[in-house]
Amino acid sequence: MLEALGIEFVEINAERVEATMPVHDMTRQPAGLLHGGASVVLAESVASIGSWNLVDREKEFVVGLEINANHIRGKKDGIVKAVGTPVHKGRTTMVWDIQITDEADKLICISRCTIAVRTHETTS
């Protein structure tokens, strides 16, 4: 899905994840504006990669548990940038705040995503 929507990660560290996504035919809704679902995919991708970066990947994996999004402003073309910062880095859950802005740093969407941290099952 990341490739289909053109999502690219710019920065990944323990305190910040940044990704970009073009506003084009694959991310627009029929009225020609950035589709809210595309913004949600971008937001959850940022939170998921950020959480994945924080766990012991040999023992743990992460999955989306809950996401919400407030769509503030429409966007017809160009690039949007999502910046995610962890609000809570727990043992079993992580919560991320994600802000999606345009090239002029105008707020397009704000999202909060809860990620579940799970352990790989061991087999004998």
Q: Among 64, 72, 4, which Cα is nearest to 36's?
A: 72
Residue 115 in domain: yes
CA–CA separation, 82 and 80 (whole Å): 7
Residue with tokens 């996401």: 67
Contacts of 30 (CB under 8 A, 6+ apart): none
Residue 91 in domain: yes
Residue 124 in domain: no
Amino acid present at 116? A
| CATH code, domain carrying 32 | 3.10.129.10
Other CB atoms within 10 A of residue 118 CB: 13
In this prediction, residue 121 carries a pLDDT of 80
Residue with tokens 């020609």: 32
In this prediction, the residues of the chain whose per-residue pLDDT falls under 50 are 123-124
Domain housing 71: 2-119
Residue 40 in domain: yes
Residue 114 in domain: yes
Residue 98 in domain: yes
Domains in the chain, number: 1
Known catalytic residues?
Answer: 44
Residue 35 in domain: yes
Q: What is the pLDDT of residues 81-114, one digit of tens each?
A: 999 999 999 999 999 999 999 999 999 999 999 9
SS3 content of the chain, % helix, strand, coil (to 5): 20, 50, 30
Residue 60 in domain: yes
Q: Report yes or no on whether pTM surpasses 0.75.
A: yes
Quick check: helix, strand or coil at residue 62?
strand
User: φ, ψ for residue 10 (rounded to 5)?
Assistant: -105, -35
Amino acid present at 32? G
In this prediction, residue 58 carries a pLDDT of 95
